[in-house]
Amino acid sequence: MNKVALITGVAGQDGSYLSEHLIERGYEVHGIIRRQSTAENQESRLEHLDGRVNTHYGDLLDVSSLTRIILETKPTHIFNLGAMSHVRVSFDVPQFTIETNGLGVLSMLELYRQHCPEAKFYQASSSEMFGNSVDEDGFQRETTPLTPVSPYGCSKVLGYNLVRHYRNAYNLHACNGILFNHESPRRGSNFVTNKVVKTAVQIKLGLVDKLELGNMDSYRDWGHSKDYTRGMIDIINHDIADDFVLSTGETHSVRDLVKVVFSHLDLNWEDYVVQNPRYMRPEELKYLKGDCTKAKETFGWEPEYTFESMLHEMVDHWMSIFTNPVRV
């Protein structure tokens, strides 16, 4: 049987790495992209795949476009990665966040149920759903209560529960990947990891003189998108549709992140980093550390990158961009 994957959010960090993994495994890959006025974050992350990803214009809030694409592509595997994904910005656009990340999931599930119920469905859920809930041993896992502290987290809980409902009510192979923070050189520059890395490289090269950040004492479990998108395929293809945490099992503060990046560039971070209240969230998520035992024991998934190797790769990437003027 021909394996046909349809990816929403294909032009993002995860969509591009997932496309690579799927192509390597012999899938025919289709992706949905939103038409925007700027080229960044559209097909630029897919250019190296030389047209092997078939892109279609659509939007999670435009059911007619989603219907057309599903009928045209006839997917066997649906990966719903599309979302309003910036937690801080979700406080500024809460309605749009809920509509995209909640009702958008509902639209995809309903079209899946109506037009290709024999397919498999993966929903990109998030560790932000946990909020400040932590189990007694200091970890968050599949059974940890969901107590989100942002519109983004709330929207992801809605999508997560809709997937579980459709799985149980209609006997669909629909699953959730509860992914903790995952980064890469392809991460958007408005996310804290790539913001830190990109600005630190610019400081090293004398292009800027400071880095402004919000809360530096929030802790996150950071992994690499390449590892986590590999795990998405494991989750969707598991014999029994279920929900799985993907994480490293380690937690680091934003301050730790800054120290690793600046140290790799032989810089003293304290000479350049200042805190700006503008980047603080109205309600902070203080601590995340995931337990991915279930995924490891079920299908053998575990991360290959370390916190340090991921950040070093990102630093080297941005250094090559700023020192190579012909690079696109």
What ranges in the chain are assigned the alpha helix state H?
A: 13-24, 63-73, 87-90, 94-98, 104-115, 151-170, 192-204, 225-236, 254-264, 293-299, 307-323
Return the HEC string of 16-51: HHHHHHHHHCCCEEEEEECCCCCCCCCHHHHHHHCC
The answer to whether the beta carbons of residues 133 and 291 sit under 8 Å apart is no
75 backbone φψ class: left, alpha, beta (φ>0; ψ -120 to 50): beta
Tokens of 101: 């990340």
Annotation marks residue 112 as catalytic: no
- How, if at all, do strands 252-253 and 219-220 pair? antiparallel
Annotation marks residue 287 as catalytic: no
> Any residues with CB less than 8 A from the CB of 206 and at least 6 apart, and which?
none
Instruction: List the catalytic residue out of 17, 112, 122, 152.
Output: 152
Please work out, in degrees rounded to the nearest 5, the angle formed at the alpha carbon of residue 22 by the alpha carbons of 5 and 289.
Answer: 100
Annotation marks residue 126 as catalytic: yes
Instruction: List the catalytic residue out of 20, 28, 128, 183.
Output: 128
Helix (H, G, I), strand (E, B) or coil at 185: coil
Instruction: List the catalytic residue out of 126, 155, 184, 218.
Output: 126
Tokens of 20: 């690579």
Amino acid in the structure at residue 249: G
* Sign of the four-CA dihedral 111, 114, 115, 118: positive
Tokens of 162: 């809709």
Active-site residue list: 126, 128, 152
